[in-house]
Structure formats: structure tokens, C-alpha cells
Structure 1
Amino acid sequence: MGMTTNRQRIGLATALAYFVFSSLTILSNHQGGLASLAPATPFALALLIARPRRDWTAILIGGTIGSMAATSLFGFGPLAAAPMAIAKVGEVGLAAWLFRKLRGRRGYFGSLDRIGRFVASVGIVAPALGATVAATVAALKFGLPFDRQWRIWFVGHSLSMITLTPVLSLILSGAIERRWRDASRQLRIEATVLISATAAVAVAVFFQNERPLLFLPALPVMLTTFRLGLPGAAASAIVLAVIGSYATLHGMGPTSFIGGDLQGRMEFLQFYLACTVLTTFPVAADLSRRQALYRRLRESEARYRLLADHSTDIVLGIDRGGRITYLSPSIEQIVGRNPAQLHGRRALEMVHPVDRDLVLVSHRDALTDVQGTQIVEYRARVTNGALRWFESHTRAVQDDDGRVTGTVSMIRDVSHRKTLEAELSRAASTDPLTGLANRRVFDAALAQRIEIAAQGGIAGCVAVFDIDHFKAVNDRHGHDAGDHVLQAFARIARGVMRDGDVVARLGGEEFGILFPGTGIEQAHCLSERLRTTLAATKLRHGVAIVELTVSAGIAPIDGMGGAAAVLRAADTALYGAKAEGRDRLRLAA
């Protein structure tokens, strides 16, 4: 009984509010036909969003009653009341149903995808349905042009729902009230100052007809949004809507510069307000997520505030289910947590997600092979959040009856060793003078592209470059100048070539470039750009100026021959380029 009475109160309140909003809209419409403003529609939609699904029927019935009363008394009359109510309330019901598909309430501006779906459903699909019904009524009963009435309804209702629905939903859901109630005194003062500043700027912009200053409110609105979040964005939108609407209705403000009738100026104002909402609400939603992230990061930093000065071996005991049964005190120096805090937790949680499968397999193998020692390397986060490498030696633990009860591990920090291994691997694949890939890396990449060509794919092309008169540079200016020339070629080639191209030093002054998935014409274009860039480069070595030119041969990669055949074809083309006078390119025959 109490629930029914509550729904009746909701329905009655909805009917009264809808009647007031609709009546004011109709009475303020001096253009004839359908009105371009529709505050009742976003109010009803926001109410549906803010209330549980069980209250929707009462809200929709109340909206229908309020709409029919307003239309009968002040609008098209009793005969049009029912179909106009169908247009309005049907539009609201469809918008609410589509809105539920967004799977979020105040979070529907949390991403560009959700913004797009919100605008499409609430700002396009729903008002298009209402416009079709309402324009049909206006055309059949009153002889008004269907297309003009459809546009007026669609634009007005679309912009109204995009602009006011997010704002009203925050108000009706109590989010703004809760935020104000929980805010500190300092934050309340700051909110008052920011919203007052927004209002002052809005008054200065809209209560004058001399300059188009619609851009000015952006600064206080964004400041309010950044400091107060979604409630600040909503309050700013309300301030702009109230002041802007009042000024526009009285012929003031920057909207007067667009000319036309009052209806056109109000539509422009609604468009301006909709753009403001679509700008500030996503920013506020993103700020809210970031604040939550920063809060979690601060909590994480507090948990791991103790930094390890050096790594030591850790003794770790784990039961069969992977939960920690023992940790040596040395763990505190590495992860900054007392062993007692980690007791009973899953050890796998401390391991980097990418390496958890390896560690899990090692643990299971240790449980099965009771006589063996399982060795595994993995990454884990330490005190300062850095990712470090550890090596774990794990053996099974048996009770007196020979049953395996868990494992024990000796864990050592091997980050320094892994760094050295990475550096050695990098050195083994890099030319030490130029920093380019070496011949081994180039040959491996070429073999891979040849295999792709053999399978029918687009393999690409190879270019072999040779620095012209390099021996003369060494003889005239010394080997330091020659090294400088080689390094300059490498630097310029990296700048000219694409990220996916492989640039390597093949030996001496000869360089190879692999163009994966590239046709001969594009490879020639890229090579020509490198040649001309090098030709325009003047290298200074001491007081001497060294000119840098290159010759190159380009050959396509096909599946007919091996790497040697492709390089031979490119070399033959290179020799032809040198024979023709150097500083030029030549394609393989």
C-alpha cells in the first residue's frame, strides 16, 4: 500500500511538473506551430533515469496527463491532446529505453563511444519519432507544413535532451545534493566563487549586443568543471542556460548576430549549450576516473613505501594451493611488507601477469617431481613499483608420511644479470660504430621476407647503398672523418626511412635497406629521398668540408631465388649506378 501511494505521488508530481513546463513552453511560443523549446521532455527523461524501473509507469502516465492538459488548455486543443501526448511521452519512453542500453547512468559520457551512442539514441532516434508524430498532427489538423514542423520539433527536442538530460539527471538523482553535503567548507566557498564567476561572465556576454563573445564562458566553465567535477559541469550548464535563455528571449546577447527570428536564435543557443555539455561532461567523467586512479596509486605507494637498498635471497614456503605459509624477513627489504601481512595470500599475486603461467607450471612440476628442483625466471613488482627479474629454485616439501604438502623456494634478484644479457644481445645484433642493425640481423629479416614471397605474399624490396669515394675521404681526411661519414649516413637514413624498414650496415661503407611489403616504385622513391638528402648534406670535419653522396641498387624480393640472388641483383644494379657516374640509383633488371 505504501509503495502504491509513493508511486501515485511520483505520478502526480510528474504530471504537475510536466504541465508547468509544457504550458510555459506553449505560452512562450509566438511563432505559431510547434515550439522549438522542450524542457518538459528532458525533465521526464532525466526523471526516468534517476528513478528505478518500477516507477517508470507512474512517471509516463503522469507525463501523459500533464501533456494532454497543457495542449488542451494552451496548445492545439483537446482534439490534438492525445496524439501530441503520444509524440512527447512516446519520445521520452523510447529515449529512456535506448538510454538503458548504454549500461550506465551518470557514466554515459565516460568514453567517445558512449557519447556517440548517447547522441544517436537520445538526440537523433527518439526525437525523430516524436517529430514524425507531432508534425503529422500539425499538418493534418492545422494545415501546417510537415517538413518545417518536423525540423522545428526535431532540432528543439534533440538539443534540449542532449543539453538538459545529463544536468537534470544529476539533480534528480541527488548527486549534486550529496556532493554539496559531503563537501568541506573550503570546497563550498570555492564552488560558490567559481559558479558566481561563471554567472558574472555569462551576464557580461549575453547582456550586450556589441561583440560575439560566446567563447568567453569557456574559461570559467572549464575551471568549474576541473575543480568540482560533474556537479560543477552541471551547475555551469544551468547558469548558462538560464542567463542565455533570458537574454535571448529579450533580444540580447551574441545570438542576435546570426539574425533571423527568435526561433532560430533559440535553436542556436540550444546548440551552443549542447556543445558545452558535450565538452564539459566527458572531461568531468574522465577527471573522476583519474582521481580514483590517483587515489589507488597513492594507496599502493603507501603500501610499498619502503625501498630496497639491495636484493637478498628470500625463503618462500607455499602450500599445495599456492598460498604463502612462510616468508623470510628479507622479503621486507624487497617489497616493503612484513611477512605476516602476506601470510595466507596467493603467491602468484606478487608475480607479473605475463609470467604467472610459467610460475604456476613450475609450482605444479615441483609438486609432481618431488626429487627435482624447478628453476624459473619471472618478473615481479618491488617496493617502488619497478619491475625486476627474479630467479626461483623450487623443491617439494613432504611430511613424515611422504605426502607432498607444498613447496619451498629460494628466490634471488637477477635483474642485473638480465640487464647484462639484454645488452649483450643488443650488441650482438647492432653495428657498434653506427648503431644500425648488423649483417646478421639484415640476413635474418631478408630470409623471412623471402619465405613470405615463396608463399605468395608481398615481400618487398632490398636496396644496397655504397658511399661514393669513401676511400678518398679516409685518405684525405683520416679515418676519424670516415667514421663521421658512416655515422652521418646512419643518422640520416634512420630519419628518412619508415619505422618498419630495416637499415643495416653490411660492411665497410656498404649499407642495406629492407623495405617490407613495399613495391619497387615506393622503394625507389624512399631511396631517392635518402640519396638527395645525403647529397645536400655538408659534413664539417675540423676545417674541412666533406661532401656525402651515395650510389644504390634496388631489387625486388621474389620467391624464385634465395637471399644471395636478391643481394646479387641489387649489387649488380649498384655497380651499374657507379659506372654511370655515381650519386644515383638504379633498379635491378
Structure 2
Amino acid sequence: MAIGTSRLRIGLFSGLLYFVLSAIAINPVHSSGVATFWPATPVLLALLLARSRRKWKAILIGATIGSLLASSLFGFGVVNAIPMAAAKIGEVVVAIGLFNRLNVRRGSFGSLDRIWRYVVAVGIVAPALGATIAAGVTAMRYDLSFAGQWRTWFVGHGLSMVALTPLLSLLFSGATLRWWRGAARRTRGEAMVLLTTTAIIAAGVFGQNTLPLLFLPILPVMLTTFRLGLIGAAAAIIVLAMIGGYATLHGMGPANYVSDNLNLRLEFLQLYIACTVLTAFPVAADLSRRQSLYRRLRESEARYRVLADHSTDIVLSVDRSGRVCYLSPSIEPLLGKTPEALLGSRALELVHSLDRDIVLVAHRDAILAPQGTQIVECRMRVTSGALHWFEAHTRAVTDDHGVVSGTVSMVRDVTHRKALEAELSRAASTDPLTGLANRRAFDAALAHRIDAAVAGDRGGCVAIFDLDHFKSVNDRFGHDAGDHVLQSFARIARGVLRETDVVARLGGEEFGVLFPGADIAQAQFLSERLRATVAATQLRHGQASVRLTVSAGIASIDVSSSAAAVLRAADRALYAAKAEGRDRLQLAA
């Protein structure tokens, strides 16, 4: 019930308002065709923009009734009132439809694109359609030129909508009243001074017919726009339009330079007001956008400072040349230097010399690809003198034009992680019982030597050792003794062989030895030394004494051989050595 009453009230209000404004505009000029100045249209359009869609139907019905009454009583008669109402109300419906389609928001002119959409909707398309209907009616009713009536309607209605709709929509939406209530007393006083100044200058300009001083009111209007924003711009332009309109209707002001014809003077005044609106409103919208941006920027900076000042990570900002612009306080416990002491220094000086090249490349890549994040690991020497590993996530900082001004990095101490990774990597490639390399590491080293042989380097040789009668050791003395034997062989092998040789436990009691760059004679010599040392060593496990021998097969790494082929050749030689009595070496055929 309350909703229905609200719609009824808004319908009656819009109908009465449209009737009054139409009667005022029609009465002086009905004998000569369409009116040059038509305030009812921008008022109706602004009312629709300021109210919810649920009330549009009531507003349009009320305005249609008001238009029919005004045209019937003061204008074109009852018969012609219907098509004239269709022209007036129809152009408003077209304008509001284009507003929705072109995404034009009330009072928003933040870009030239939005200004263009607004002007096209209410200054060209909508009045052109209304002018076509109205010009046809007036041409037949008064035997006037269709083209002349079309131009008068198009110019008058187009200019009035462009000039007045933004101003009136702010008033009808209540934005002006809300601004006044929320403004500080000092701001209200400043608004009164600025609007009074605008009124005085406008009265001086439009109160004389001697000098063309239309540029002067622009100064207080723009000053008010800069100081008070969109609401101030609207209020100043309304003051200017009221004083200018009164003076023009009474034959005063610079508009008299245009023509003695009142219609042409009114068209000129509307053009002047429209240009002022399209100048001041985009500036006001842009200022509002910038103020909002600066406010968000200050809030973001405050949050950033809180995070940076209390984070254990290091926040580092550098300019394009690599000099430090900002360092968070977390740098001091690590490096023993305050952020202030490091400002202006080169960020690379903090990095270990071996890692400076990769850090420099990451900095340059961040500048060249500002949308991406560069991740790099480097070492820095901390207060204790130890080298710590750090991981830096670096991203470019750009200005409003997309130009890179520097980079910002989030740097984290990852020394513990790197140590854990190294331990995991070592564990993944190490036999846990003997501490030797495992099968995976041995295969990787062998593949590397084969690649070296293909590239022209001497590949080397491979030997496979197997502990003789190892099963009997486990059976007689237990698995603990067997483990002790395996560990003893590993210890002997590391002591006898070269540092460059790779010794690995391939599985069970089988071991592999890679001799990088050795020929078959060198490999045989080294393998024989290992066999003899093992045979001469008496191992003790508790009260037990264990004597151990090994057999081995040796194969050379050939350019045409694969890793599997080399291992098969060495394995066949090993079985041949065992078949001949064990505790001996055998070369692959």
C-alpha cells in the first residue's frame, strides 16, 4: 500500500511539474511553432535518473498527462497534443534507454568516452527522433517549414538536455542536500563565498551589453569545481544559468551580440551552458577519482608499512639503476646495518659476488616484463659472518603511464630450507648403510661419462665388484656382521681409490666403481689394488674373525656403448671371474 501511494505521489508531482514547465515554455511562442527552450524535458529525464526503475512508469504517465493538458490548453490543440506528447515523452524514453545501453551513469563524466556517450544519447539521437515528429505536426498546423521547425526543436531540446540534465539529476537525487549536511562548517562557508563570487561575476557579465566577457564566469566556476567537486560545479553552473537566462530574456548580456531574435539568443545561451557543463563536470569527476585513488593509496601504504615494519621478511625497493630506495627494519638483525644506512647504496653490494649476475638478470627481467614476478635465490653474508641463502620475489613498479620506475622485492631467509634440500638430495643419492652413492647416483654419473665420451672426451671404465661368499657370512655370524662387512668394504674402497672415482653400492653385496677418464690398464691397476687390500684385511666382529675376498669385472666406456651395454659387459666379466675361482679380476671381452 505504501509503495502504491509513493508511486501515485511521484506520478502527480511529475505531471504537475511537467504541465507548469510546458505551459511556461509554450505560451510565449505557440503562435510561431516549436519552443526554442524546453526545460520540461531535462527535468523529466533527471527525475527518471534520480528515481528507481519501479517509479519510472508512474513518472512517465504523469508527464504524459501534463504534456497533453499543456498542449491542449496553450499550444497545438487537443488533436495535435497526442503526437506532440509522443515527441516529448518519446525522446526522454529513448534517452533513458540509451543511457542504460551505453552505460552512462548519472553525473559521471570521468573520461572523454563517457562524455561522447552522453552527448550522443541526449544531444543527438533522442532530440532528433522527437524533432521529426514535432516538426511534422507544427509544419502542418501552422504551415511552417519542416526543416526550420526540425532544427529549432533539435537544437533547443538537445542543448537543454545536455546542459541541464546533469545539474537537475544531482538535485533530484538528494546528492546536493547530503553533501551540504555532511560538509564541515568551514566548507559550507567556502561554498557560500565561491557561489556568491560566481553570482557577482555572472551578474556583471550578463548585466551589460558593451563587452563580450563570457569567459569571465568560467574562472569562478572552475575554482568552485576544484574546491568543492561535482556538487560545487553543479551549483555554480546553476547560478550562472539562472542569471544568464534572466538577463537574456530581458534583452541583456553578451547573447545580444548574436542576434536580435530571442530564439537565437536562447539557443546561444544554452550552448554556452552546455559547454560549461561539459568542461566542469569531467574535471570534477576526474578530481573525485584522483582523491579516491590517493585515499586508497594512503590506506594501502599504511597497511604496507605495518606489514613491512613487523615482518621477518625483508621488503626491498630499488630504482631502475639498482639503488636502494627502501628497506624494511627486518634487515638490521640480519646484516647489522640500519635501513637508513643502506639507502642509496647499490643493492648488489648486499649479495655474494658469485650470485650477483643472476640477481642482476632477475632485476632486468622484472623491468622488461613488468607483469611478471621474478624469483631468484642468492647468498648474503649476515652479521655472524656466515653465508645465508635468501629467496627474492621481485616485481616491477610502474607509474600511471605504465613506465617502470623500479622494482620491489620480498626477500626471505631460506637457509634452513636449502640445508634440508641438500640433505634430502644427499639422502636420495646415498646408500644409508655404507654412505656410498646409490644405484641412482651411479647411473647418473655413468650417463654423464658416456655423454663426455660422445663429446670427444675419454669416457673411462666401469668395474663391478661382488663380495665372495657373502651369504655364508650372514648365515654364520648374523646380519650385523654382514652389515659390518659391507661398511668395511666401503671404507677400504674410499681409502684405496682416487677421489675422482665414483664408488656406489648397486644392491646387496654388489658394488660399482666408475673410473672417469681412465683407460683399461689404469682401471685394472686400481681394481687390483682394491681386491688385494680387501683380501689382506682381516675383519673382526665381536669375537668373530672374518676374512673377505672380492671378484670384479671391468669394462671400458665406448662411444658407441650405452650405459646398459657397459654394465652388462662388466657383469659378464664378473661372472667369468667367479667361475674361475673368485678373488680375482676379469676384463670384458
Q: TM-score, normalised by structure 1?
A: 0.56
State the shift of 1:42 in Å. 0.3
Match of 1:33 in 2: 33
Partner of 1:246: 246
Could you tell me how far 1:295 is from its partner in structure 2?
A: 1.5
Name the residue aligned to 1:59. 59
CA apart distance, 1:22: 0.4
Taking the TM superposition and a 5 Å limit, the aligned residue runs for 1:56-135 are 56-106=56-106, 108-135=108-135
What is the alpha-carbon distance in structure 1 between the residues aligned to residue 185 and residue 97 of structure 2?
A: 40
Q: Measure, in 1, the Cα distance between the counterparts of 2:53 and 2:312.
A: 59
**Per-residue deviation, residues 206-263 of structure 1 (Å, max 9, x unmatched):** 1111111111101111111111111111111111111111111111101111124110
Aligned pairs (5 A) from 1:151-550: 151-304=151-304, 314=314, 354=370, 358-359=374-375, 378-379=394-395, 387-389=407-409, 394=414, 395=417
Describe the shift of the 1:378–1:387 C-alpha distance in structure 2 as closer, same or farther (beyond 3 A): closer
What's 1:149 paired with? 149
SS in 2 for 1:109: coil
Q: For residue 356 of structure 1, report the CA deviation from its aligned partner.
A: 5.5
Q: Given the two structures, how large is their TM-score scaled by the length of structure 2?
A: 0.56
User: Is contact 1:314–1:331 with CA below 8 Å preserved after alignment?
Assistant: no
Superimposed CA distance per residue, residues 183-214 of structure 1 (whole angstroms, 9 cap, x where no aligned partner): 00000010001001101111111111111111
- Residue 314 to residue 130, structure 1, CA distance change in 2 (3 Å): closer
Q: 1:361 to 1:131 in 2, by over 3 A?
A: farther
Secondary structure of the equivalent of 1:108?
coil
Decide whether aligned partners of structure 1 residues 375 and 296 sit closer, same or farther in structure 2, where only a CA change above 3 A counts.
closer
What code does the residue aligned with 2:407 have?
A: L
- Amino acid corresponding to residue 149 of structure 2 in structure 1: Q
In structure 2, how many angstroms separate the alpha carbons of the residues matched to 1:174 and 1:285?
A: 18
Q: Distance in 2 between matches of 1:93 and 1:214?
A: 34
Distance 1:107 1:172, change over 3 A: closer
Give the number of equivalent residue pairs: 361
Q: Distance in 2 between matches of 1:107 and 1:334?
A: 47
| Letter paired with 2:395 | R
Q: Secondary structure at the match of 1:215?
A: coil
The alpha-carbon distance between structure 1 residues 34 and 328, as it changes in their structure 2 partners (threshold 3 A), is closer
What CA deviation, in whole Å up to 9, does each residue of 1:370-419 have, x standing for no partner?
xxx996652378xxx97344665754999xxx9xxxxxxxxxxxxxxxxx
Greater radius of gyration (CA): 2
Q: Give the CA deviation at 1:110.
A: 1.1
Letter in structure 2 aligned against 1:379: R
| One-letter identity of the residue aligned with 1:178 | R
> What stretches of structure 1 of length at least 5 have no aligned partner?
316-326, 336-350, 363-372, 403-589
Distance 2:38 2:395 in 1: 59
| Cα contact 1:135–1:147 (8 A) shared by 2 | yes
Once the two structures are overlaid, the 10-residue window that deviates more, 281-290 or 106-115, is 106-115
Question: What's the offset of the Cα at 1:53?
Answer: 1.1
- Contact 1:198 1:217 survives alignment (8 Å): yes
User: Residues 355 and 40 from structure 1, CA distance in 2 versus in 1: closer, same or farther, beyond 3 angstroms?
Assistant: closer
Structure 1 position 305, deviation (Å): 5.3
Task: Output the CA distance in 2 between the equivalents of 1:67 and 1:228.
Answer: 37
Distance 1:377 1:15, change over 3 A: closer
Q: Aligned-pair distance for 1:28? A: 3.1
* Greater CA drift, 140-149 or 208-217: 140-149
Alpha-carbon deviation of 1:129? 0.3
Distance verdict in 2 for CA 1:292–1:375, change over 3 Å: closer
Q: Would you say the 8 A contact 2:107–2:170 is kept in 1?
A: no
Q: CA deviation at 1:312?
A: 9.3
CA distance in 1, matches of 2:419, 2:65: 77
Q: Partner of 2:32: helix, strand, or coil?
A: coil
Contact 2:41 2:92 in 1 (8 A): yes
Give SS of 2:178's match. helix
The answer to whether the 8 A contact 2:14-2:63 is kept is yes
**Superposed CA offset, 1:524-569 (max 9, x none):** xxxxxxxxxxxxxxxxxxxxxxxxxxxxxxxxxxxxxxxxxxxxxx
How far does residue 302 in structure 1 lie from its aligned partner after superposition?
3.5
CA contact (8 A) 1:355 1:378 kept: no
Partner of 1:577: none
CA–CA distance in structure 2, aligned partners of residues 86 and 156 of structure 1? 17
Instruction: Assess if the C-alpha contact under 8 Å between 1:379 and 1:388 holds in 2.
Output: yes
Q: Secondary structure at the match of 2:105?
A: coil
Alpha-carbon shift at residue 17 of structure 1 (Å): 0.3
Report the Cα distance in structure 2 between the residues aligned to 1:104 and 1:120, rounded to whole angstroms. Answer: 11
Give, in whole Å, the separation in 1 of the partners of 2:185 and 2:114.
35
CA distance, structure 1, for counterparts of residue 306 and residue 60 of structure 2: 59
The 4+ residue runs of structure 1 with deviation greater than 6 A are: 306-309, 331-335
SS in 2 for 1:280: helix
**CA RMSD, aligned part only?**
3.5
Q: Structure 2 counterpart of 1:387, which letter?
A: T
Equivalent pair of 1:195/1:236 in contact (CA under 8 Å)? yes
Q: Which amino acid is 1:129 matched to?
A: L
CA, structure 1 residues 182+219, in 2 after alignment: closer, same or farther (shift >3 Å)?
Answer: same
Is the 1:31–1:263 Cα contact (8 Å) retained in structure 2? no
Give the equivalent residue in structure 2 for 1:519: none
Q: CA 1:151/1:306 → structure 2, altered by over 3 Å: closer, same or farther?
A: same
Q: Residue 37 of structure 2 aligns to a residue in which SS?
A: coil
Q: Distance in 1 between matches of 2:114 and 2:52?
A: 21
Tell me: CA distance 1:229–1:397, structure 2 relative to 1, closer, same or farther (3 Å).
farther
Q: Name the % identity.
A: 58
Q: 1:313 to 1:143 in 2, by over 3 A?
A: closer
